[in-house]
């Protein structure tokens, strides 16, 4: 065999024998990981707030309404209106009232206030001080939905539940997120609950801190929930897009109506002392 052939054979098939193996760069294989917790802080002055220091309908520069009685994906029994009888501001508070009355083909009326296109944020601290309704069939919520649905319909683009309560389980408050990978529809939902004494007779502070690393839920400034970004893409963490706030009382539905609806308890109200949003300080 000619020397040139021997050299080619050595290069192609026996690099180790020729001592050339050490010169070949080897790929570095890493597993995907989530972001590092940078212990983000939040500004001390709200970037958006409603202190409800006025009277009449909710401030139209800050709040819009979802309107209708289509069941809202949960077989709910109320018709959401923009009537002042269902959402009004007076005495330093917002009152959302669910009533037993025929409206829009439904037997109950209520309101669902939204900040969509009036208050939309990616990351931040969200504080809502509220007093909850009571009675079988009530289902109040303080929550967030994606403004642009960038990853697709529910649950692909995510949902953040800052506070949920069902009247048949008095004083137990829930904090939850929903994603394509983690939701009740497939039995993987990640949430937490806590008994909050006097949830319907006293104001309590419901809060989330949302950063690129985690969504953390607090009640009266005590952390009781943490959902960490695993770095597995939008199916597990769609929370890198803008979201807006919602405040509402549903009646009945797949969860709120599990033990029926007691028509005698209505009207029922959720009172909100304030809503404050603080910008996350970038690092």
Cα(107)–Cα(41) distance, rounded to whole angstroms? 46
**Is residue 244 domain-resident?**
yes
The residue count of the chain comes to 283
What mean pLDDT is predicted for residues 55-84?
97
**93, 269 contact by CB (below 8 A):** no
Query: pLDDT tens for residues 11-59?
Result: 444 444 444 445 556 655 555 567 899 999 999 999 999 999 999 999 9
pLDDT at residue 34 in the model: 74
**160, 210 contact by CB (below 8 A):** yes
Cα(137)–Cα(76) distance, rounded to whole angstroms? 10
Domain encompassing residue 107: 3-278
**Is residue 283 domain-resident?**
no
Nearest to 252 by CA among 105, 140, 101, 104: 140
Ordered DSSP codes for 160-209: EEEEE--TTSTTEEEEEEE-SSS-GGGT--EEEEEE-TTTTTS-EEEEEE
pLDDT at residue 32 in the model: 56
What mean pLDDT value characterizes the chain?
Answer: 92
Counted domains in the chain? 1
**Is residue 250 domain-resident?**
yes
Say which DSSP state 52 is in.
-
Domain containing residue 174: CATH number: 2.60.120.200
Pairing of strands 204-210, 112-114: unpaired
Cα(84)–Cα(201) distance, rounded to whole angstroms? 23
Query: Is the predicted pLDDT of residue 6 greater than 60, yes or no?
Result: no
List, by residue number, the catalytic residues.
Answer: 159, 164
pLDDT at residue 62 in the model: 98
**Is residue 235 domain-resident?**
yes
DSSP SS3 for 264: helix
Percent of the chain at pLDDT exceeding 70? 88
Query: pLDDT tens for residues 102-159?
Result: 999 999 999 999 999 999 999 999 999 999 999 999 999 999 999 999 999 999 999 9
Query: pLDDT tens for residues 185-213?
Result: 999 999 999 999 999 999 999 999 999 99
Reported confidence tier of residue 170, pLDDT bands at 50, 70, 90: very high
What mean pLDDT is predicted for residues 167-193?
97
């Amino acid at each position: 065999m000619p020397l040139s052939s021997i050299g080619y054979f050595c290069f192609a098939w026996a690099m180790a024998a020729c001592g050339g193996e050490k010169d070949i760069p080897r790929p570095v294989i890493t597993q995907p990981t989530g972001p590092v917790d940078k212990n983000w802080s939040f500004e001390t002055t709200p970037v958006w707030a409603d202190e409800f220091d006025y009277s009449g309908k909710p401030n139209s520069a800050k709040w819009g309404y979802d309107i209708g009685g289509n069941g809202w994906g949960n077989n709910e029994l109320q018709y959401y209106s923009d009537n002042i009888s269902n959402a009004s501001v007076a005495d330093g508070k917002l009152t959302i009232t669910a009533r037993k009355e025929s409206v829009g083909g439904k037997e109950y009326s209520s309101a669902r206030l939204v900040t969509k296109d009036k208050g939309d944020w990616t990351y931040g601290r969200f504080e809502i001080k509220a007093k909850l309704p009571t009675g079988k069939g009530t289902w109040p919520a303080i929550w967030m939905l994606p403004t642009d649905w960038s990853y697709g319909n529910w649950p692909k683009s995510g949902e953040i539940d800052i506070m949920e309560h069902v009247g048949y389980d008095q004083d137990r408050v829930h904090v939850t997120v929903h994603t394509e990978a983690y939701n009740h529809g497939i039995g993987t939902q990640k949430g937490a609950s806590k008994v909050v004494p006097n949830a319907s007779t006293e104001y309590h502070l419901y809060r989330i801190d949302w950063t690129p690393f985690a969504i953390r839920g607090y009640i009266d400034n005590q952390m009781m929930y943490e959902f960490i970004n695993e770095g597995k893409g939008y199916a597990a963490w769609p929370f890198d897009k803008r979201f807006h706030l919602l405040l509402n009382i549903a009646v009945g539905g797949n969860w709120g109506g599990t033990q029926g609806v007691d028509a005698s308890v209505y009207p029922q109200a959720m009172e909100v002392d304030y809503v404050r949003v603080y910008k996350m300080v970038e690092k």
